[in-house]
Amino acid sequence: MKFIHIADMHFDAPFTVLNSKNNLGEKRRLEQREYFKNIINYIKDNNIDYLFIAGDLYENEYIRETTIEYIDNLFKQIPNTKIYITPGNHDPYLLNSMYNNYNWNSNVKIFTNKIEVVEDENVDIYGFGFNDFYCKTSEVEEIEIKNRNKINILITHGTLKGGGIENLEYNPLSENRLKQLGFDYIALGHIHKPYYNEEEGQNIVYPGSTITLGFDEAGKHGVILGEIENKELKINFLPIDKKEFKEKEIDITDINSVESLIENINEMQIEENIFYKIILIGKRNFEIDLYYISKFIQKENIIKIKDETQLNIDINKISEQINLKGIFLKLILDDEKNKIIDKKTAEKIIEIGLDVL
């Protein structure tokens, strides 16, 4: 049997950061459709038996029925492929959800929060989905396989324990316990970084988000292509997304004006298919106004600029001077020490104040 395993597509996500630049968010949503169509075409051209979608196919808050129609019409193009969906925390199986109220094509099976097994000729598919935006417990770890002579697949959305305290609200699962259940393949969703082939015989897999959704998701994004024959699993990662998000640092220590900084950014060598976050580092010799700077950036794929610079002055030395600057600095440093203001605010006040003085 051959399968494609995807997760965390997040159809109709708002792409708030991208929308700040010339409707790039809307362009990204169109790319979502294009890349998903490419997946369907690959399935069609390669006679893939199963498509596993392990949650967060869409954003419940923003999803449009026209988007669901688009997805389902693509499913109709692969009638011989069986499609299994386990809703996640962004697309739970709610009473008013698209999963519950849309008439999906006959080759689509959507699991609920009641663990269910679908018995196929040579394969048994087990699934568990969210019915709310949170899931602190499930009975996934207690599943007993009915027929171990068949290929057994588990599909669910959740977090392997150890992924951080915030993830305890999203179906926390023990990797060791999952291994003991005896499945031939466990298709997971929720973690946006791919997790596969990190140890010999690994069959508990995250494909990562199908397309990258922001600057915290570096690297390639795509789908898992798997094949199980005579109980032997082979998996490969297929990159789908042609775009990447990257961070690039600029040290401004030797830059002496905002005009020179803007020129520096506009003259950067950048790649066409990369969205960039520029991080300013080093010692600054002038006030940084990110809103002002952003207005003059000519390259569309520079999405965000972040200031991590420090004042290029010896604050402690100046604070010891017996003059207005020294008195001013002592007052501000005392306020910071007593936590009346934070460090970033103190630096901004000092920068403006010293310029005035």
pTM of the entire structure?
A: 0.85
Length of the chain: 357
As a whole number, mean pLDDT of residues 155-169 equals 79
Instruction: Please tell me the predicted confidence (pLDDT) of residue 166.
Output: 62
How crowded is the C-beta side of 55, counted as CA atoms within 13 Å? 34
Instruction: Please tell me the predicted confidence (pLDDT) of residue 286.
Output: 85
Q: Which residues pair with 118 in a beta bridge?
A: 125
What's the CATH number of domain 2-239, 3.40.50.970, 3.65.10.10, 3.60.21.10, 3.40.190.10?
3.60.21.10
Q: What percent of the chain has a predicted confidence (pLDDT) above 90?
A: 69
**Which of the two residues, 203 and 356, has the higher pLDDT score?**
203
CA distances from 186 to 171, 249, 297 (A): 14, 39, 46
Dihedral, 188, 189, 193, 194 alpha carbons, nearest 10: 40
**Which of the two residues, 203 and 349, has the higher pLDDT score?**
203
Tens digits of residue pLDDT in 37-60: 999 999 999 999 999 999 999 999
Token digits of residue 266: 């506009």
Place of tokens 């171990």: 148
Q: What are the two backbone dihedrals, phi and then psi, of residue 309, each rounded to the nearest 5 degrees? A: -80, 170
Task: Flag whether pLDDT at 6 surpasses 90.
Answer: yes
Tens digits of residue pLDDT in 142-158: 999 999 999 999 999 99
**Which of the two residues, 129 and 273, has the higher pLDDT score?**
129
Task: Flag whether pLDDT at 163 surpasses 60.
Answer: no
Token digits of residue 102: 């849309």
Tens digits of residue pLDDT in 284-343: 888 889 999 999 999 888 999 999 998 877 777 888 888 888 888 888 888 888 888 888
Select from 77, 78, 72, 71 the least CA-distant residue to 50. 78
CA distances from 289 to 37, 255, 258, 268 (A): 42, 15, 9, 20
Tens digits of residue pLDDT in 98-108: 999 999 999 99
Instruction: Please tell me the predicted confidence (pLDDT) of residue 329.
Output: 84
Q: pLDDT averaged over the chain?
A: 92
Report the distance separating Cα 32 and Cα 36, nearest Å: 6
Instruction: Please tell me the predicted confidence (pLDDT) of residue 336.
Output: 84
Instruction: Please tell me the predicted confidence (pLDDT) of residue 327.
Output: 87
Q: 1 with 50: CB under 8 angstroms?
A: yes
Report the distance separating Cα 128 and Cα 138, nearest Å: 8
3-state secondary structure of 258: helix
Amino acid at 257: S
CA distances from 58 to 53, 88, 304 (A): 11, 9, 25
Instruction: Please tell me the predicted confidence (pLDDT) of residue 138.
Output: 93
Tens digits of residue pLDDT in 109-137: 999 999 999 999 899 999 999 999 999 99
List, by residue range, all CATH 3.60.21.10 domains of the chain: 2-239
As a whole number, mean pLDDT of residues 261-277 equals 92
Report the distance separating Cα 208 and Cα 6, nearest Å: 8
